[in-house]
Amino acid sequence: MATTGLQHVAAMYAGVVAPPLIVGAAIGLSAAELTFLTGACLFTAGIATVLQTIGVWKIGARLPFVNGVTFAGVAPMTAIVATTDDKSDALPIIFGAVIVAGLLGFVAAPFFSRMVRFFPPVVTGTVITLIGISLLPVAFGWAQGANPTADDYGSATHLTLAALTLVVVLILRRFTRGFVKQIAVLLGLVAGTVLAIPFGVTDFSPVAEADIIGFPTPFHFGAPQFQLAAIISLCVVMVVSMTESTADMLALGEIVDRPADERTIAAGLRADTLGSALSPLFNGFMCSAFAQNIGLVAMTRIRSRYVVATGGGFLVLMGLFPMAAALIAVVPRPVLGGAGVVLFGSVAASGIQTLVRAGLDKDNNVLIVAVSLAVGIIPISAPEFYHSFPETARIILDSGISTGCVAAVLLNLVFNHTGRGSDAQDVTHPMEAGEEISEAAHHHRAPATP
């Protein structure tokens, strides 16, 4: 349980620490304050994960579901920083907005969960596939290095380390069994880190510089402040986050053979939103589901929620013992990228498995999947596609999971639940005429030419 829980931490660590590092750098925090903010986000992610997996009353999906700092909030939070004259007020304003958004989301959770009726297999399969596809660019970015502005970003050394890590994971998954096979990703990360030492890519300085013990003092950066513009901005992020969490719960339910019903989704959303509302108390940001860990569950087939709860316990300890957190930070980003290819690809594969059962022998369902995937892939393949839209709209549009999910739900309603669309025709070859066209052609066929 300890090793598989630690494997989940290793898979999500980079995603948890990235938002506080970006926002903290935008504010101009010192190295010590930046370390404190990062530790606080690890601590609150651990609390949210335990709350989600173990559950209290009607709070928590009680699935192997990891919660961490949502990256969807980075853009609006940095915008808040940019528009705040006194940078020392930026974090209190952000924390105040997160508290309000979290509480409103908690109240809205049972109403939001009723959307589950609009998620048949054709929709869930599309969304799960999009989750995997959306995460793969993250793995490719990790494989190139930690700093896009560095001279060695995307170097042959980094890509080789990523490839070697991927090969180690594949070999362990193919030629081992039992416990070793289950922790193949963790062993791959360890092997990749060791292989990176001769290349000078492994950096042990975070361990040497980290404090042994540290506690995220409540309201360390000041009491929360409540500004309407910031609150509205992060409420929009909360809606996006709840949409993605719903999709993630549906995906995880399919993978662990426990389909997420309306009650499960409501409980999971309550944990998400309550975790977000409590997070600023300990200087953390908005919490949401982490899709990358769904890939780990899909690959290892370890479905126990207590394993993920153990990972949440490790995150809490890392918040209390910065030196422990620094040990995970030692893993080079290219090594994480190599493992990420397997993890995130597994999510996409799970989505394809769901689509196979979704009735793709019907034209309507093929169109739903085709258009929804295309809409969801826009932010990935053309990141500046929505550049002329307002910043608030881009919070939603730049999330391929959210836009693809909305498109799939709406198209399913139009094609399968309204008018003649509910009578789906059998699928036809793209280059062949459909049934109705063929019949019309039979009755009005022009004479054949000699």
As a three-state string, the secondary structure of 191-227 is HHHHHHHHHCCCCCHHHHHCCCCCCCCCCCCCCCCCC
**The pLDDT of residue 446 is above 60:** no
Alpha carbon separation from 76 to 17, 153, 245, 292 (Å, rounded) = 17, 27, 19, 23
- Is residue 75 very low, low, confident or very high in pLDDT (cuts 50, 70, 90)? low
Please name which of 391, 397, 388, 393 lies closest in space to residue 83, comparing C-alpha atoms. 391
Whether the pLDDT of residue 215 is over 80: the answer is no
pLDDT attached to residue 277? 93
CB of 57 closer than 8 Å to CB of 234: no
The confidence score (pLDDT) of residue 435 equals 42
What is the number of residues in the chain?
450
Query: Across all residues in the chain, what is the average pLDDT?
Result: 81
pLDDT exceeds 50 at position 440: no
For position 99, what pLDDT does the model report?
94
Ramachandran assignment for 55, one of left (phi > 0), alpha (psi -120 to 50 degrees), beta (any other): left
Inform me whether the pLDDT recorded for 419 exceeds 70: no
Which residues touch 164 (CB under 8 Å, ≥6 apart)?
191, 192, 195, 338
pLDDT in tens, 147-200: 888 888 999 999 999 999 999 989 998 888 777 777 788 788 889 989 999 988
pLDDT higher than threshold 70 for residue 422: no
Q: Residue 149: what pLDDT?
A: 84
Residue 325 has a CB neighbour count (10 Å cut-off) of: 27
Query: What is the distance between the alpha carbons of residues 394 and 398, in angstroms, rounded to a whole number?
Result: 5
**More confident position, 62 or 437:** 62
Three-class DSSP category at 398: coil
Q: What is the Cα gyration radius of the chain? A: 23
pTM of the model: 0.67
Q: What is the pLDDT of residue 355?
A: 87
Q: Mapping DSSP to helix (H, G, I), strand (E, B) and coil, where does residue 166 land? A: helix
Neighbours of 193 (CB within 10 A): 18
Q: Which two tokens stand for residue 412?
A: 């399913």
- What are the CA-CA distances from residue 55 to residues 47, 226, 267, 418 (Å)? 11, 30, 8, 39
Percent of the chain residues past pLDDT 90, beyond the cut: 19
Check residue 210 and give its pLDDT. Answer: 67
Identify the CA nearest to 255 among candidates 178, 361, 348.
348
SS3 for 325-370 is HHHHHCCCHHHHHHHHHHHHHHHHHHHHHHHHCCCCCEHHHHHHHH
pLDDT tens track for 37-52? 888 888 999 999 999 9
Q: How far apart are CA 269 and CA 66, in angstroms?
A: 13
Question: CB atoms < 10 A from the CB of 148, how many?
Answer: 9
pLDDT in tens, 237-248: 788 778 778 878
Q: Report the share of the chain in percent with pLDDT over 70.
A: 89
Q: What's at 65, amino acid-wise?
A: F
Q: Which of 68-77, 89-98, 160-169 is predicted with the least confidence, judged by mean pLDDT? A: 68-77
Q: pLDDT class for 420, splitting at 50, 70, 90?
A: low
pLDDT at 233 over 80: no
- 153: DSSP letter: T
Contacts 24+ apart (CB under 8 A), 416-425: 416/120, 416/122, 416/364, 416/365, 416/368, 421/364, 424/359, 424/362, 424/363, 424/364, 424/365, 425/362, 425/363, 425/364
| 8 A C-beta contact, residue 281 and residue 218 | yes
Sign of CA dihedral 216, 218, 219, 224: positive
Gap between the Cα atoms of 34 and 25, Å rounded: 8
Q: Computed from CA positions of residues 161, 162, 164, 168, in that sequence, does the dihedral angle turn out positive or negative?
A: positive
Is the pLDDT reported for residue 74 higher than 50? yes
Q: Which of 44-48, 63-67, 105-109, 392-396 has the lowest mean pLDDT?
A: 392-396
Six-digit token pair at 405? 């999910």
State both tokens at 361: 């022998």
Whole-angstrom distance, CA of residue 256 vs CA of residue 294? 10
Give pLDDT, residue 171.
94
Q: How far is CA 79 from CA 23, 101, 212, 242, in A?
A: 10, 17, 34, 21
Residues β-bridged to residue 362: 426
Selected residue with higher pLDDT from 100 and 115? 100
Which residue shows structure tokens 């992020």?
237
Q: Around 190, how many Cα atoms within 13 Å sit in the side-chain half-sphere? A: 9
pLDDT of residue 190: 86
Mean pLDDT of 72-84: 77
Lowest mean pLDDT among 31-40, 152-161, 424-433: 424-433
pLDDT in tens, 309-363: 999 999 898 888 877 766 766 788 898 888 888 877 877 887 888 788 777 888 8
Provide the pLDDT for residue 328. 67
pLDDT computed for residue 161 by the predictor: 93
* 291-312 mean pLDDT: 83
Higher pLDDT, 428 or 410: 410
- The tokens for 259 are 């389909």
How far apart are the two ends of the chain, measured CA to CA in Å? Answer: 76
Average pLDDT for residues 217-224, to the nearest whole number?
A: 87
Give the confidence band of 31 by pLDDT, cuts at 50, 70, 90: low
* 55-64, 187-196, 419-428: least confidently modelled range: 419-428
User: Residue 352's pLDDT is what?
Assistant: 87
- 100 pLDDT higher than 60: yes
